[in-house]
Amino acid sequence: MKLKELLRGIDVLSATADMDLEIPNISYDSRTTRPGDLFVAMTGFAVDGHGFIGKALAAGAAAVLCEKIPQRGMLEGITEIPPGGIPYVQVADSRRALAAVGANFFGHPADSMTMVGVTGTNGKTTTTYLLKAILEQELGARVGLIGTNQNMIGGEVIPTERTTPESFELQRLFAQMRDAGCSHVVMEVSSHALALDRVYGVHYAVGIFTNLTQDHLDFHKTMEAYCDAKALLFRNCDDGVCNADDPWTPRLLENAACRKFFYAEHADADLRAEDVELAADHVAFTAVTAEKKIPVRVNIPGGFMIYNTLDVLGAALMLGIPLEKSADALARVPHVKGRVEVVPTPGKPYTVLIDYAHSPDGLENVLTSVKGFAKGRTIALFGCGGDRDKTKRPKMGRVAAEIADFAVVTTDNPRTEKPADIIADILPGLEGTSTPYVVVEDRVEAIHWAMDHAEAGDVIVLCGKGHETYQEVNHVKHHMDEREIVAAYLNAEK
């Protein structure tokens, strides 16, 4: 594609590059740049891509898309400047330009599909899976899914590294989905993706807001900034389906351009849950609108599932699917991996659950749910991620102390921090409480310890990993699947 075609719709401030250059590919990482590429230099959260312009040119980049006109100090990797100077295109915002270039390169694939975006602290993954199931069952649609667990095209699974990929990769994924015949895309839209313009230019038929609780403050710094990042989704969708029980919803919608549809369990709303029933293996309630009352049952336990179901029912209504049809589909949906997932423990009198809870609110939700059906003790095994918001660590400890009957404090993706330092930040939340706890730094040993000390009727909740099958240490992901750990330990006892 010619450079001028890639730049369609982008305001160019200045340029020396030949607009008739034929560009075979786009890169934004000098390590993956190939001859002929357009290299996009972005100012990142931790690194400024302008410092890698020289390496990209040395790798064969034909031109540079940038915010800063290339200077000699940016040209590490090349020995001399070409006679005609560095071929560049200067724009005001190279992140947004990358998103626009990606859409142009792949032929604006999102425009040919019905897009649904889900944002919020907790519940995004479950919401996307439930809505995907309704669309497939009731519309016969082929649905693309993008999220934390994995990406999917229909039933095909595509591994993922981020909740929302970088904009160019996201456009590539949209193109795959379009070419595979997808009519709908249901995707998690993280606050990072919104703040960093990974979804810039993508228009959504429906935007869904689940809730807002403390998380990612290492990036956003304040809850207000975190909320404002989420709010960007509702300036670029037709219908916004929002949680009326969440105190952040009014701020989220202050500058929203969409039609608003509210769901709630307690507040007045367009869609409400009444006659709520919580059980060990499901939730049930009556979904109430101004026109009808429909019984709903979902085979996933936990009080938080009321909201995860209401938002899906609301989104389906916005997409033209009647409430009763959605309820029928939800009753047939299997469990979502890593969300209150039961791990087989044949012959044992205790239960092991895996859940992705990694924030104070997420931990509170799952432990409260388990307390509602556990016949014995609720044992919380958890840690906190390294290189992330440190202020939530003692709060996680406090939540465990207030709800669980016993806590096992351990490691969860320490990244570049020392596990002992992270645990030391958690413990003040547990100290001085009546809840007993133990520290077992190695997570595998911690799981073994919990299983060894579990009693009849106890429920061990392995919190934080959920769908993840790795432990990240010093930028390396080491395989660690908690399902395998539990199974292997039980087999070793035989």
Instruction: Write the DSSP string, 249-281.
Output: HHHHTTT--SEEEEEESSS--SEEEEEEEE-SS
Query: pLDDT at position 467, please?
Result: 87
Query: pLDDT at position 155, please?
Result: 87
- Does the structure show a pLDDT above 60 at 163? no
Q: Are the C-beta atoms of residues 129 and 191 closer than 8 Å to each other?
A: no
Instruction: State percent of the chain over pLDDT 90.
Output: 78
Q: Which residues of 201-223 are buried (b: 16+ CB within 10 A; e: fewer)?
A: bbebbbbbbbbbbbbbbebbeeb
For residues 149-162, average pLDDT: 81
Query: pLDDT at position 276, please?
Result: 94
Query: pLDDT at position 78, please?
Result: 77
Among 185-199, 212-226, 352-366, which stretch is predicted with the lowest mean pLDDT?
A: 212-226
For residues 400-404, average pLDDT: 97
Per-residue confidence band for 184, with pLDDT thresholds at 50, 70 and 90: very high
Span 97-131, pLDDT tens digits: 999 999 999 999 999 999 999 999 888 989 999 99
At 40, list the tokens: 């996009």
Report the chain's mean pLDDT, rounded to a whole number: 93
Among 67-71, 81-85, 346-350, which stretch is predicted with the lowest mean pLDDT?
A: 81-85
Query: pLDDT at position 469, please?
Result: 93
DSSP-assigned states of every residue in 375-419? SS-EEEEE---TTS-TTHHHHHHHHHHHH-SEEEE--S--BTS-H
| β-sheet bridge partners, residue 472 | 477
For residues 447-462, average pLDDT: 96
For residues 161-187, average pLDDT: 90
- pTM for the model stands at 0.80
- State phi, psi for 492 to the nearest 5 degrees: -65, -25
Q: Are the C-beta atoms of residues 277 and 287 closer than 8 Å to each other?
A: no
Query: pLDDT at position 456, please?
Result: 95
Span 193-246, pLDDT tens digits: 998 999 999 999 999 999 998 666 666 689 899 899 999 999 999 999 999 999
Query: pLDDT at position 219, please?
Result: 67
Span 263-320, pLDDT tens digits: 999 999 999 999 999 887 789 999 999 999 999 999 888 888 999 999 999 999 999 9
- State phi, psi for 89 to the nearest 5 degrees: -130, 120
Query: pLDDT at position 161, please?
Result: 66
Query: Cβ of 145: how many Cβ atoms within 10 Å?
Result: 26
Q: How far, in Å, CA of 1 to CA of 480, rounded?
A: 43
Span 27-75, pLDDT tens digits: 999 999 999 999 999 987 678 899 999 999 999 999 999 999 988 777 8
